[in-house]
Amino acid sequence: MKTMQHRILIILIAIDHLALALLTLGHCVRGETISAALWSLEQSGKWPGRLGRPLVDALFYPLERQHCQASWLAERYLYAGTQP
């Protein structure tokens, strides 16, 4: 059985997915979060990633170091079906 904290996390991630789909008008990778998208954009040298990734990482700094990279890796492994 999932704890309430886990359920809230799932809901927040779903809201994140929806927000990205709305912000990009559906031009995003299925199941990608804003954090992972910012990491990908920064790695591609695009300005939204270069500006947004440091802001999101700073926001999550007390909880997790390199949040955007960690999100990107987690999604990559999730959809590839492998573990890091």
Q: Which residue has the tokens 């926001």?
A: 59
Contact status, residue 21 vs residue 28, Cβ threshold 8 Å: yes
Q: Quote the domain boundaries for residue 34.
A: 4-80
Model pLDDT, residue 55: 97
Higher pLDDT, 50 or 2: 50
Per-residue pLDDT tens for 28-60? 988 899 999 999 999 999 999 999 999 999 999
Q: Does the reported pTM lie above 0.95?
A: no
State the Cα torsion 68-29-31-13 to the nearest 10°.
40
Task: Report how many domains make up the chain.
Answer: 1
Model pLDDT, residue 80: 73
